[in-house]
Amino acid sequence: MDGYYAFMLVATLLVLMMTVPALALFYGGMSRSKSVLNMMMMSFVSAAIVGILYVLVGWSMGFGGDGVFFANPFELFALDGVATSDYIFVMFQMTFAVITAALISGAIADRVKFSAWLLFLPIWAFLVYFPMAHMVFSCTDEALICTKIGAQDYAGGTAVHINAGVAALVLVLVVGKRLGFRREPMRPHNLTLTMLGAGMLWMGWYGFNVGSIVFTGSNDEENMAQFFSETGRTFANTTMATMAAILGWLIIERLLHGKATSLGAASGIVAGLVAITPAAGAVNISGALAIGVVAGAVCAWAVSWKFRLGYDDSLDVVGVHLVGGIIGTVLIGLFSTSAGAGGIDGLFYGGGVDSLVDQTLGVLVAIAYSGILTAVIALAIKFTLGWRVTEEAEVEGIDFDQHGESAYDLHTSLSPSGSTGVLATATKSTEGANA
């Protein structure tokens, strides 16, 4: 089916766009002006490092054979033995790995050495993401979550969002709070970037969810009708859940704090998309609307937990991705219909509690696996390289300390950065003389 490859090319591009630049903009806008470049760089290098590692061993671990937790990393090393006509499926899956790792970075904004992040990425991808992708997406005889437990996850509620959310929670506990957390305002520095990023995430998410029809097997000539049905259902569910989640978030905000905010709308978009991700192929429109509004409302409330419990999840990765991922994955047990890709009726459609139990079990396995292994990696880095930049660097700005750059030059007439190299050098020596 020629059109199918064109479809997957577009889907893959859309998911790649979700990390670079959509997530970078979404997170970058929410961080402080002195940390925005570092925040964006964490997404960009996730693409580079996890992407390359995925092609070397990730695809092989995920889809190279059978296994409860993962397949042999070297079976298809560097795609050796994979037909080039299958490369688009590799690339599609690679974009999932890339964004999952990048999602975590929002939790540890403003305070982490770039080198520690560079070290964390490949180890976490290898030990946590690639196995989790196998357990969820490679429905072979032995794969733990998909086959043995039988939990449905259309596009990555467990593998992507719960996985990233749990890892984020573990990292903030190991890394510690930003200096001044709960004492000084840490307002988003540019909500227009955040709104733009959230909008682009919404667009890109269609690649994520609709493209995940690759797992349903309805992509050959005989199943054209099913292909159209699946893509249509997934597209519509993704849209409806997102719209409902915006409203859910804004209503809770208006009730609790008196104002419906732009950051709330942007966050509602992401919460709805996260929650519908595992359920996109399983539920009907009513189910999608219900999942969306519940996710929007509960996540709006959940992001305040960090202040009550005292952990500093900078950009609310836990409140949005972990909570949203759990909501979507568990609610499949209620709203799934047998007309969907999984062919299972949930509790509300006469299917009993079996699906609810399976979904909950899938969530618990994902939390345990990601939580334990991420803790081991995070602690290992803490006691070797160390996670934190110096206090001075954190206060004065991680962008300059880690990258030698600043994001904005708003005083060009007085700044040496707009001048020639000679003048910049002269300015530097003057500063030295003054010091």
Number of amino acids touching another protein (CB under 8 A): 19
Comparing CB distances to another protein, the nearer of 115 and 261 is 261
Choose one: 122-130, 257-265, 351-359, 419-427; the region binding another protein (CB under 8 A): 257-265
Comparing CB distances to another protein, the nearer of 266 and 334 is 266
Q: Check: CB of residue 385 under 8 Å from CB of residue 374.
A: no
Phi, psi of 112 (to 5 degrees): -110, 135
Which of 258, 350, 421, 432 is close enough to bind another protein by CB under 8 A?
Answer: 258
Comparing CB distances to another protein, the nearer of 230 and 316 is 316
Site residues (CB under 8 A) for another protein, limited to 306-335? 307, 316, 319
Helix (H, G, I), strand (E, B) or coil at 296: helix
Choose one: 2-10, 53-61, 157-165, 180-188; the region binding another protein (CB under 8 A): 180-188
Which of 250, 303, 332, 377 is close enough to bind another protein by CB under 8 A?
Answer: 303
Which of 110, 153, 230, 253 is close enough to bind another protein by CB under 8 A?
Answer: 253
Q: Is 187 in the site for another protein (CB under 8 A)?
A: yes
Q: Check: CB of residue 159 under 8 Å from CB of residue 153.
A: yes
> What is the amino acid identity at position 71?
A
**Min dist. Cβ of residue 303 to another protein (A):** 5
**Min dist. Cβ of residue 269 to another protein (A):** 13
SS3 content of the chain, % helix, strand, coil (to 5): 75, 0, 25
Choose one: 37-45, 196-204, 297-305, 395-403; the region binding another protein (CB under 8 A): 297-305
Element containing residue 414 per DSSP (H, E): none
d(CA 240, CA 253): 20
Comparing CB distances to another protein, the nearer of 259 and 428 is 259
> What is the amino acid identity at position 209?
N
340-363 as b/e: b if 16+ CB within 10 A? bbbebbbbbbebeeebbebbbebb
Q: Is 255 in the site for another protein (CB under 8 A)?
A: no
What is the distance in angstroms between the CA of the first residue and the CA of the last residue of the chain? 70
Helix (H, G, I), strand (E, B) or coil at 15: helix
**Residues making contact with another protein (CB under 8 A):** 185, 187-188, 253, 256-259, 261, 263-264, 267, 300-301, 303-304, 307, 316, 319
